[in-house]
A = this chain, B = another copy of it.
Amino acid sequence: MKVGILNVTGYAGSELARILAHHPEAEMVSVTGRSAAGQRLAEVFPHLAATDLPITEEIEESVDVVFSALPHKASAEACGPFYKQGVKVVDISADFRLKDLPEYESWYSVQHPFPELLEDAVYGLTELHRDEVAAAGLVANPGCYPTGAVLALAPAVKAGIIEPNVVVDGKSGVSGAGRGLALSTHYSEVNESVRAYSIDGHRHLPEITQELRSDGVEPRVTFLPHLIPMTRGILSSCYADLNPGALPGGDAAAAALFEVYRDFYRGEPFVKVVDQPPHTKHTLGNNDCLVYPAIDPRTDRLTVVSAIDNLVKGAAGQAVQNMNLMFGLPESMGLETLALYP
């Protein structure tokens, strides 16, 4: 299976290269970059020294699947033609995530270059859309925050334990902000500090809302992301009022809640309902999403905490998981790595 990567030079792109280098069935044959075009992959990324591919401006080989780690709009522009030629596409950008075109164009302040493809695209939160992903030619890989938040909340919403009326407090490592330079990711500014950002509205909000929408109930989601002084990891702390009577009272409530979550994710290779609140470190470098649901009996609120590696389950890992499905491979192929601890 021949693979191309568009824009390998960011963190999502290089993480794709790292994962695919270990994949037994996929072979990277062409990778692109912009400023780095003309260099070799090994020059730009010493950790990929074994991968001696040139970085080119365009995909220069025939490929079976293309991953795009380009910025929005540029990504759709590049992915559209591949898809139309029958090449399978996993787009890590936001371009095909939102089903509602005006919403996309409003949040991203651009005109969509291929609006007609939105219908074909499948939102690649694998656990919620597995069958569609398997049949898809164009997968919109979810944002990192929505991956953690939706996996944390979907079981409770779908079981009717809560309404989709939630607060999501997201805490992300700095690699989520990419490899582009900015004062907000300058070491001395970020280190030893925590802050909220995008308090007026983060672009991942409409994804969360879209995925928690069901049966005509319009979600009411407050999402506030925070930047944490670490490289990788997202912890999503989610809060919602419990629907009265949805769970048994007293001590049985927690057990019933766990049962709902365990049922929902039974058999999942990557989503694990855990016994203790997870540390993001427990997912470092692997494709797991660890979910811990809890009840606050003093307030009858649900609290769910989930942990992922933003570059793996939140980006490149999930993309490969989706690729596996699209090609009929075992879903976990190339993704069995244990987390790196400590």
Q: Is A67 an interface residue (CB 8 A)?
A: no
Among A21, A50, A175, A186, the one with the most B-chain Cβ atoms within 10 Å of its Cβ is A186
Residue of A45, A192, A281, A303 with highest tally of chain B CB at under 10 A: A192
B222 adjacent to A296 (CB under 8 Å): yes
Is the beta-carbon distance between B185 and A171 smaller than 8 angstroms? no
Contact residues in B for A193 (Cβ distance below 8 Å):
230, 233, 279-281, 284
Q: Are A228 and B231 in contact (CB under 8 A)?
A: no
A235 proximal to B (CB < 8 A):
yes
Interface centre among A230, A272, A274, A305 (most CB of B within 10 A): A230
Asked if A334 is at the interface (CB within 8 A of a chain B CB), the reply is no
Segment touching B, from A71-79, A90-98, A176-184: A176-184
User: How many whole Å from A202's CB to the nearest CB in chain B?
Assistant: 11
Q: Roughly how many angstroms separate A230 CA and B173 CA in the complex, as a whole number?
A: 13
Partner of A195, one of B201, B277, B303: B277
Could you say which residues of chain B place their CB within 8 Å of the CB of A181? 181-183, 186
> Pick the contact of A191 from B49, B50, B174, B277 — CB < 8 Å?
B174
At the interface, yes or no: A56 with Cβ under 8 Å from chain B?
Answer: no
The yes or no answer to A48 lying at the interface (CB within 8 A) is: yes
B192 touches A190 (CB 8 A): no
A282 at the interface (CB under 8 A from B): yes
Query: Least Cβ distance of A141 to chain B in Å?
Result: 19
**Residue count of chain A within 8 Å CB distance of chain B:** 80
Which of B11, B229, B296 interacts with A229 by CB under 8 Å?
A: B229
Q: Is the CB of A192 within 8 A of B233?
A: yes
Select the residue from A18, A173, A195, A274 with max chain B CB neighbours within 10 A: A195
In whole Å, how far is A327's beta carbon from the nearest beta carbon of chain B?
Answer: 22
Q: Evaluate contact between B187 and A191: CB separation under 8 angstroms.
A: yes
Of B21, B45, B49, B231, which one neighbours A192 at CB under 8 angstroms?
B231
- Contact string, A316-342, partner B, CB cutoff 8 A, digits 1/0? 000000000000000000001111111
Some 11 contacts from A to B, beta carbons below 8 A apart, are A18-B338, A174-B191, A175-B188, A179-B188, A181-B183, A181-B186, A185-B188, A189-B279, A189-B281, A222-B239, A224-B303
Seed contacts A174-B188, A192-B284, A199-B294; 11 additional CB < 8 Å A-B pairs: A46-B290, A47-B282, A174-B187, A181-B182, A185-B187, A188-B231, A189-B342, A192-B192, A192-B232, A201-B298, A221-B298
